[in-house]
Homo-oligomer: A and B are copies of this chain.
Amino acid sequence: MSLAAAQEALARLVLDVPDFPKPGIVFKDLTPVLADHAAFTAVIDALADVGRDADGNAVVDKVVGMEARGFILAAPVALALGAGFVPVRKPGRLPRRTHQVAYDLEYGSDSLEAHRDAIAPGERVLIIDDVLATGGTAAATVRLIQACGGATHGFGVALELGFLDGRAALGDLAVTSLAIV
């Protein structure tokens, strides 16, 4: 039921913004979903279910969110699952020793970091983000979790841009999107 409510909220409230951040790109703006308490709650409830088994029991130790928009969904999902929250950040923003992973962009490359002690060996980790596009940041996050010794349980995302085929970049990672657009 929470999935149906989340899908209804996303279909009704996500805004298409043409030519952002550059000409030819249609940006999916989720801020109207976040501003609507019932809609935001439905999306968090549905994403938290990605971290539960068939009996409804939470099965993850940590939930990872990627800077910056990913924090908005991943932190509440961690709280809902009784798990800890781990931020994955752009280089230079985490203050202690990190693992770092580079990933390719359309032109050039970028990197993401996680604290080395953010995930203990063997912990089960759920990745949560707002939008799955090319899958580059999610793939880099999987490698960060591996570097920490964690086991990636899956990847839950509110919106999947199906035409970009981000799943192809994610190998056998279990991807659950609330809506494909």
Contacts and interface: CB of A to CB of B under 8 A. Distances in A.
A92 interface: yes
Contacts of A76: 75-76, 79
Q: How many copies does the complex hold?
A: 2
- Considering residues A82, A95, A96, which has the most beta carbons from chain B within 10 angstroms of its beta carbon? A95
Given A35-B84, A75-B72, A76-B76, A96 B40 contact: no
A150 interface: no
- Give the one of A36, A71, A83, A89 with max B CB within 10 A: A71
Given A72-B71, A75-B76, A96 B37 contact: no
A79 to B, nearest CB: 6
A20 interface: yes
A87 interface: yes
A139 interface: no
Interface of A: 15, 17, 20-21, 27, 29, 31, 34-37, 40-41, 44, 62, 65, 67-69, 71-73, 75-76, 78-79, 82-87, 89, 92-96, 115, 118
20 contacts: A15-B95, A27-B95, A29-B96, A31-B86, A31-B87, A31-B118, A34-B75, A34-B84, A35-B62, A35-B85, A35-B86, A35-B118, A36-B84, A37-B82, A40-B84, A41-B79, A68-B68, A69-B71, A72-B87, A76-B76
Given A35-B84, A41-B79, 16 more contacts: A17-B95, A31-B86, A34-B75, A34-B87, A35-B62, A35-B118, A37-B83, A40-B75, A40-B85, A68-B89, A68-B93, A69-B71, A71-B72, A72-B75, A73-B75, A75-B75
